[in-house]
Amino acid sequence: MGRRILILTLSMLPTLSLAEMSAARLSTDLDLADSSDMAPEQGMRFLLAAGYVQGAGEMGNQALFCLPPNYTNAQLLGLVRNLLHQFPERGNEPAVVLVREALTSAFPCVGR
């Protein structure tokens, strides 16, 4: 499932500027998961935001942080959402900075 989301995200990159996504936009789009009546376009925004986080998790694993073998995508999304909510004043920063910070803090590579 995670790979499908990542592939979907990558296929839409030419039409979206996810590389420049702000932390505030990522937070807003991830919070769509709490909506009980999600419109189709909101569902797409949530999936793209989730794919952004999951892609960052796959790209940085073993280089910037070390995910445990049994981590879940829901864990990754929860960690990132928590950090984004904890620091709303950092909403203008690139989303990738806060995603990396959340994952590095939660899953440091011990002994390297």
* Global confidence as pTM: 0.76
Tell me the sheet residues that pair with 61: 65
Residue 97 structural domain: 2-106
Is-contact 35 42, C-beta < 8 A? yes
If you search the block for the tokens 């009546």, which residue do you land on?
A: 37
Asked whether residue 112 is assigned to any structural domain, the reply reads no
Tens digits of per-residue pLDDT, 8-48? 554 544 444 445 789 999 999 999 888 877 788 888 899 99
29, with CB counted inside 10 A (0-12, 13-18, 19+), is: buried
Residue 92 in any domain: the answer is yes
CATH code at 60?
Answer: 1.10.890.40
CA distances from 93 to 20, 24, 65, 87, 108 (A): 9, 8, 20, 11, 22
